[in-house]
Structure 1
Amino acid sequence: MQTNRIAALFSGFLFLTLTLFSAATLAELDSLQPEEDQGSTAREIVGKLEMLHYNKLKLSDDMSEKLWEEYIEALDPTKSYFLASDISEFRQWRTKLDDQLRAGQVKAGFDIYNRFRLRLTDRLNNILNQLDKGLPAFDFTRDEYLELDREDSDWPASISAADELWRKRLKSSVLNLRLTGKKDEEIRDLLVRRYKGQLKRIHQQSSDDVFELYMNSLTRLYDPHSNYLSPRSLENFNMSMSLSLEGIGAVLQMEDEYTKVARLVAGGPADRSGKLKPNDKIVAVGQGKEGEMVDVVGWRLDDVVDLIRGEAGSYVRLETIPTGGDGTHRTILIKRSKVKLEDQAAKKATFEFSDGEKTYKIGVINLPTFYIDFEAYRRRDPNYKSTTRDVAKLLEELKAEKVDGIILDLRNNGGGSLQEATMLTDLFIDQGPVVQIRHANEQISRHNRSRSRAMYRGPLMVLINRLSASASEIFAGAIQDYNRGLVVGNQSFGKGTVQTMAPLKEGQLKITQSKFYRVSGDSTQHAGVTPDIQMPRLIDVETVGESAYDTALPWDRIHAVPHAKYFNLKELLPSLISKHQQRTAADPDFIFLREQFQFETERADQEYVSLNEKTREMERKELNERLLTMENRRRTAKGLEPYKTFEEYEESESEEVANIGGPVEIKLEKDPILNEAGYIMADFISLYDKIAKSPPQVANF
């Protein structure tokens, strides 16, 4: 289960690595102390959370204990920085933090952080002293293991226990670098630069960094989407929301000392590459196809982002640790491009599919996000861009091309404008409610309605996956509740909450104030939308999605509202599912997808990693051989020439990524999910007349 023990999305100041504390360090490093206005800001945050947040939680001794645990885990998620004696000392504040925050006192948070900072500094100095004498003489023939998940472990009971833990961690770092082909001297130089950089950044930390981390440990108790943004983080947040950014199209966050991929911008370079995944960790960044790789472990988030951003058309190389697995590094080449809202506009394509007896022309509309140019809209520009306007135009074009059915592809669509989600639904249903919104004051609004007759009334399918969220879930849920079309794919993300920005004396508070509900009364929160027909899972729901957050608001339901039921789709589902299963049981691409997911799940479940070099090399060889066998089995079944070596397979993948650029195209040959969706749609159309004869009926509630 992925925990939400991370700082707010744009709080790039977690430089967590090592532990130890000495009197000598006290003289070197001044303690960080709260600034005068931070106490009043803390009181503001507490007041707004208690008064405005949907959850209506009041700070109490019980909440204080949870805050204490959350804050310490945010600092030390691997239980390897603090000693057990530190934790015992910190227990004096376990039930007092609520009273302190109400009084505008944040010193306890600073005291805990200063202890962490001092121990970290001393450990970094200790390791640098070791590296000054050369790379430690590790015995890589010894059979020993590093624990990957220490969530249920204890903090080191003594300095010697901490030394042993960090001996293994340093040994693992060295081994990982050896396995990339680096020589001992290169490894030593890289680690020296890494730890010196971390030491420098520790000295650059400010009280704002500590305060933001402490306050976000509080906001996460309410839900994972409420955050405190300091003035500096607010600036980064606003930059990320701008319409044009030159880079790779990835949202990053900090976890431990690593920069981690939170999500990919749909249609962006990283998304199109297919090589960078959510939860991957970025350890180094190189400019161009051959530029020096700069180690970024322990860097501030905004500094890492600055390295990754660059001029459109240029290349960046990312050295990553893929999510799950044994910590082996992988280098990815990505061509930067300008990531614009306009570039994520809806696009269409047509393809032909047969049900075995008749061939149908299917229109596909790909929608990466729910967008609207608010500025042009407010200016009353008649040509302003929006999701609904663009899709309406595409629908007219597809109808002119005489398509037999339409697939609306919302995979990886993380949401956007609620107004656009509502208006888009209006293109496919007649008048009626689209979504219910329950606010913190328990009032329910149903103003988001379809107000016109449907523009398109033919066979419809909505394609979703685990990364379809928020506005995507509202649209897909409405289509499903109205029985207007099939929903196909995977369970969606489950983000059914609404956030607003509340100003503070210093910075702003992003706070959850409302919750989405479908017209059926079911919330989209936590559970998301369950498809009528399931495709193979490509993303682990345990690590990605709303349910992966410990403090996510729960699923619940309210009263349904009257709405039409267009077709009796349940009558068709058994036949459609049966044909889908028969087709995919022997389909090479689907066999590969299922094998790939099983492969990645097994790697993610690994609890320990070997520190024996021969064992790791053997494991890597076996993994590569398994991947090659899976890919070649797929290629042979499709009549393609198999790869002779894993290196040939990797090289072909790299060349493909390097050639990615320009507008996103809808292609079937690289998209077995969309291809199968087309065959399901052909089956659907062949049965459509059976359910399309009667007018829609309004359900009774």
Structure 2
Amino acid sequence: MISLSMSQKIKLAIVAGALATSSLAYAQQKDGLECRYLTVIEQGFLANHVKYSVRDSELQTRVVEQYLKRLDPSKIYLTQPDIDQIKKITNNVFDKTKNKDCAFLDQTQKIVLERVKDRLAFAKLYLGKDFKFDPATEFTFDPEKKAWPKDTAEANDYLKKYIQFQIGNYMATDMKMEEAKKNVIKNYERAVKRTQDTTEDDLYSGYLDSFARALDPHSSFFSRDVLEDFEIQMRLSLEGIGATLSSQDGFTVVEQLVPGGAAAKSGLIEPQDKIVAVGQEKGPMENVIDQDLKDVVKKIRGAKGTKVRLTILRKTGDGKKRMDVTLVREKVSLEDDAASITFTEKEVGGVKKKLGIINFPSFYADSRRGGRSSAADLKKIIKEANEKKADGLVLDLSTNGGGSLEDAVKIAGLFFQTGNVVKQSSKNEGRAEAALRDTDPTVDWAGPLVVLTSRISASASEIVSGTLQDYKRAVIVGGDHTYGKGSVQSVLPIPNDLGAIKVTVGMFFIPGGKSTQHRGVDADIVLPGPFSTDDVGEKYMDYSLPPKTIDAFLSPEAYVKEGPSAWKEVKTEWVKSMKDRSTERVAKNEEFKKIVDELNKAKARGKVIRVSEVLKDKNEKEKKDKAKKTASKAKKNEEYLKRPDIQEAESVLLDLILLQEGKALLPLKQASAK
């Protein structure tokens, strides 16, 4: 999830407090992090964090817990004795960093390396000639729901089950047993290599990120590479070849081509191509098999107008084709992540209605002069909807994890006159919350509005949906409630290009006075959704901050009763009527029935799962994902509009249009909606 940013000036921000101290200026002597900077950067987090100000024993315990999770997130390498030993090594960790003693990082890394080597040796032994695949294997897949293995024997016993799962994954792709075994062994060999190749900079970054995540779920440390990726997502543009890449079995694989990018325009690159070597305009080609994806991406990205050479491996029938390609890097616009609108026509009561469906995947914003922003894009989209005389709009935030706070305020204001959108608390508890207002008196869209949400709609999405609900400006349709992230983060770059800290600087409140923290925004009309499970939401995250409530701060000037900008408040009786009709439609919808069945199946599984069931679900998902990746933009949009929640949101919008027109809703069996 892209974090909610307090300001769009991420490149110009100066880290307050400790990060501005002169000691960090010594970074100019070395290209990278050093042990002596850790305490200074820790203090930068504490100087800005909304809740924590000191390094106490509770925070120290949390840091170690997060660090252990980072070392072995799947709990397949370390044993309980290893955990006990690492806890001894990291005892009084704040004293160690304060005294510029980072030996504990090397010591723990050595323990991890030994265990990774141990599991590789066991995997080779277990996958010998006597190995038999057993799809009936049952095991606890979620590391959060199992303890660390008590000894090596228990670790190896779990690894047997995990390897069964890995073998099944490969065989499910029609791979032969012996090749699957080789691939699994290569996975563990790569794990050894990655652990051996861990740099000092990686160790420091990992520790600092553990420190940040011990404060709350949304504070984190950005290394230089991570900061670059964050800025790309916020700008929706980068300079490179225009391809989405992934790492599969040691290969860098082309997942998707960005329309209009260098790779797509060349006609020489195809999805599922494997990049096995990379070279710049001059110089040798470098083999990139088994390299970390981030390192390969770093080699491929570059300034606009420069050339990059790639060696491609492509599957052709039963064989493979090797080819060399030279591409000129270009500025790439990530249009798939940008706001867009699709118009549909529906007939209800013998009358055709034009509906606009706005796919709004993130609150992006480029802080550079003239940079692109989601608020400006949405304003243009709404202008188009008015010009095409749309009768109503669906604003789809169901996959939107958040982004720019400034844009969220502007976007909420597109649908009413002027007034308060959100209040933000600060680190100083004695200071009143700061109100953020929409100051543009233009009502860009005054017509009927439905906002579609889900359990993964978060942060800025919750500000917009919660604000529009509090002003009775829109009907909220979707998951039972949104994610529940009611905190604000600021991204503060560290001097001398050492990365950045992303730190929670406040909590936000919507106009009704409630925080969205934990509770989220309740849907007016609830639809079954794939994310409506008991473990999706802010309240299930480690160390999530507690919710609060303040007095309501709704602005009377937001409402417009007369004239072309007048908009109608959503009435309680309307919601009840629309909810009853939606419940009836959903009960008859086969796609919603499938979603409910899948949710019930997942709940019945509990902690223990069967390899065959996981593989079946995974196969179906991978087939769908592959179809999405290779589909044209038109095909993707067609599939998007077929989603049951999109179609039901349209049906609710049609009901809302009729109600705002003062017309009675026909019983469903008499209504005609095509």
Q: Per the shorter chain, which TM-score range?
A: 0.7 to 0.9
1:408 corresponds to: 395
* Shift, 1:222, TM fit: 0.5
Mark the runs of 5 or more structure 1 residues left unpaired by the alignment. Answer: 1-34, 270-286, 318-336, 378-383, 611-615, 628-645, 692-701
Paired letter, 1:467 = I
Q: Deviations over 1:546-602 (max 9, x none)?
A: 334212223222222142376252121111101111122112333333334444555
1:683 corresponds to: 655
Q: Helix, strand or coil for the counterpart of 1:499?
A: strand
Paired letter, 1:558 = I
Question: Structure 1 residues 291, 181: closer, same or farther in 2, change over 3 A?
Answer: same
1:503 corresponds to: 494
Question: Structure 1 residues 370, 168: closer, same or farther in 2, change over 3 A?
Answer: closer
Q: State the TM-score, normalized to the length of structure 2.
A: 0.72
Mark the runs of 5 or more structure 2 residues left unpaired by the alignment. Answer: 1-30, 260-268, 277-287, 302-307, 316-329, 560-567, 664-674
Give the conservation status (yes or no) of the 8 Å contact 1:349–1:666.
no
* Shift, 1:231, TM fit: 4.0
Counterpart Cα distance in 1 of 2:640 and 2:79: 55
Question: Structure 1 residues 172, 298: closer, same or farther in 2, change over 3 A?
Answer: farther
Question: Structure 1 residues 654, 471: closer, same or farther in 2, change over 3 A?
Answer: closer
* Shift, 1:517, TM fit: 1.4
**Share of identical aligned residues, percent?**
28
Question: Structure 1 residues 376, 162: closer, same or farther in 2, change over 3 A?
Answer: closer
Counterpart Cα distance in 2 of 1:175 and 1:665: 33
Counterpart Cα distance in 1 of 2:554 and 2:143: 50
* Shift, 1:433, TM fit: 0.9
Question: Structure 1 residues 535, 247: closer, same or farther in 2, change over 3 A?
Answer: farther
Moved over 6 A (4+): 296-299, 306-312, 314-317, 649-653
* Shift, 1:510, TM fit: 1.8
* Shift, 1:60, TM fit: 1.7
Give the conservation status (yes or no) of the 8 Å contact 2:490–2:503.
yes
Out of 449, 458, 461, the residue aligned to residue 447 of structure 2 is 458
1:551 corresponds to: 543
Paired letter, 1:230 = S
Paired letter, 1:395 = I
Q: Deviations over 1:287-311 (max 9, x none)?
A: 85675799x9996351576799999
**Is residue 2:48 matched to residue 1:61?**
no
Counterpart Cα distance in 2 of 1:650 and 1:81: 27
Moved more, 653-662 or 203-212: 653-662
Out of 385, 393, 414, the residue aligned to residue 398 of structure 1 is 385
Q: Deviations over 1:3-26 (max 9, x none)?
A: xxxxxxxxxxxxxxxxxxxxxxxx
Counterpart Cα distance in 2 of 1:53 and 1:656: 40
* Shift, 1:481, TM fit: 1.0
Paired letter, 2:542 = D
**Is residue 2:524 matched to residue 1:532?**
yes
Counterpart Cα distance in 2 of 1:426 and 1:233: 32
Q: Deviations over 1:63-113 (max 9, x none)?
A: 222222322232234444233333333443565223333333333343222
Q: Considering only aligned residues, what root-mean-square deviation do their CA atoms show, in Å?
A: 4.5
Give the conservation status (yes or no) of the 8 Å contact 2:113–2:196.
no
Out of 101, 115, 118, the residue aligned to residue 119 of structure 1 is 115
Pairs within 5 Å for 1:543-582: 543-564=535-556, 567=569, 569-582=571-584
Give the conservation status (yes or no) of the 8 Å contact 1:346–1:366.
yes
Q: Helix, strand or coil for the counterpart of 1:116?
A: helix
Counterpart Cα distance in 2 of 1:373 and 1:150: 37
Give the conservation status (yes or no) of the 8 Å contact 2:274–2:313.
no
* Shift, 1:154, TM fit: 4.5
Question: Structure 1 residues 664, 432: closer, same or farther in 2, change over 3 A?
Answer: farther
* Shift, 1:465, TM fit: 2.4
2:596 corresponds to: 594
Counterpart Cα distance in 2 of 1:145 and 1:671: 33
Q: Helix, strand or coil for the counterpart of 1:676?
A: helix
Paired letter, 1:575 = S
**Is residue 2:467 matched to residue 1:478?**
yes
Counterpart Cα distance in 2 of 1:228 and 1:653: 31
**Is residue 2:643 matched to residue 1:671?**
yes
Question: Structure 1 residues 91, 606: closer, same or farther in 2, change over 3 A?
Answer: closer
Counterpart Cα distance in 1 of 2:573 and 2:291: 56
Counterpart Cα distance in 2 of 1:386 and 1:499: 18
Question: Structure 1 residues 268, 537: closer, same or farther in 2, change over 3 A?
Answer: farther
Pairs within 5 Å for 1:80-479: 80-92=76-88, 96-125=92-121, 127-128=123-124, 130=125, 135-140=128-133, 145-151=138-144, 153-238=146-231, 241=234, 243-244=237-238, 288=270, 300-303=292-295, 340-341=333-334, 344-356=337-349, 358-372=351-365, 374-377=367-370, 385-442=372-429, 443=431, 444-479=433-468
Q: State the TM-score, normalized to the length of structure 1.
A: 0.70
Give the conservation status (yes or no) of the 8 Å contact 1:229–1:508.
yes
* Shift, 1:53, TM fit: 0.7
Give the conservation status (yes or no) of the 8 Å contact 1:473–1:524.
yes
* Shift, 1:206, TM fit: 1.4
* Shift, 1:152, TM fit: 5.3
